[in-house]
Structure 1
């Protein structure tokens, strides 16, 4: 019985090796320069699956050795041989399916984390400037800020992730000091101004749109996020990448300007 179990295990390993040879050949045709986060994740998943497979091998069910039947008439011998061939074919088919299941598990797509998506989308940019109205807040005009300031709950996760590895600056035009205080209070209550993340000194206010444009040019960010198409167009010559936020999803204003209906939508969070 031990010999039969080893034979079964050997056959399964051979089938898995055949499948892996094809899969690995496809994977390693990609050059290391072009490997992205998804490829690295796939390789990591492959390594984990291999370890898992070796762990389950000792539990492979052993086939019970059929009892020897006494020699009978030739017709009976033919029936026994046919039954043995059918059993052998069924066993091989079952092993093929089991090997295919293991291979399929190896190459299940690995879903990237939000941190990986943010870094990939921002092309590893280290400094980001972002308008507040219409992007971080529900309000879309300075006049509305004179009444209230409401942080969009859907944008929180993305914004906090950006602050983990980017030097983030928020900026907005306000009509009075009370509006400024209202915005800072809303950001603080939402946890955006938490320790280790965005600090109060990096939330900038001005009284004109020209002032906001000047902020961006002085900071020289890798990315600027805005909902004003005129400012986005003006900055296209000076900023490496921009994200234009608009509910209508307009056409791209320049080759280095991306468009999205919201910040969270750009990072696939909705």
Structure 2
């Protein structure tokens, strides 16, 4: 009997060949077919917006998720309960609902609260008044994705922190290191190696979920595809292009993530 994992290592990736062939066929159509070329010129305008929203949202979600994970492992029960409440609440709500709530409920409520609390300063000219339309839809989308993904990323960080042996923490404490030093010098460097692969998977998932921001009018790939299809009634060709662009981005990142995981696994085996 072959060793576990040997079949996976020896199998030729025909699935990858099939996907690359599909991408090559769509790329050829975009290059040679005038209909595909014209539609591609429209849809591709949303690539930068998709990349920007994903990068900004993921960076903020990682920062917030790290804080929430630290709060879940805090010595203070209040922080642990608040962090757990946030994680369980947000993980139980679809991203599209969080997006709509943030854009059309949360932001107007915050703007109203700001204008009410600082009404005197605004009337005196010390602070500017803010209207709901002043808050760009792009930033509403970014904060919504941050809120939604921070709950999942917090669990990834928490699992990474818990993977560090308690003996190392106790030894560092016995040497006189403060809790902040133990976290920064002992726990965090080791946890990063553990959390990188799942963080990469979440980043790929966020690229796909970023298509939801088209629902509130952010001009990403999905939104530009909807505009092109509505104007030209070429739904088949348009959504072939939309799928092609998302596939190229996610497949490239998946292959890079797989290479990173293999590299980390080889280091651990040494």
TM range (shorter): under 0.3
What TM-score do the two structures reach when normalised by structure 2?
A: 0.26
- Bigger RCO of structures 1 and 2 (CA < 8 A, at least 6 apart): 2
Structure ranking higher in strand proportion: 1
What TM-score do the two structures reach when normalised by structure 1?
A: 0.26
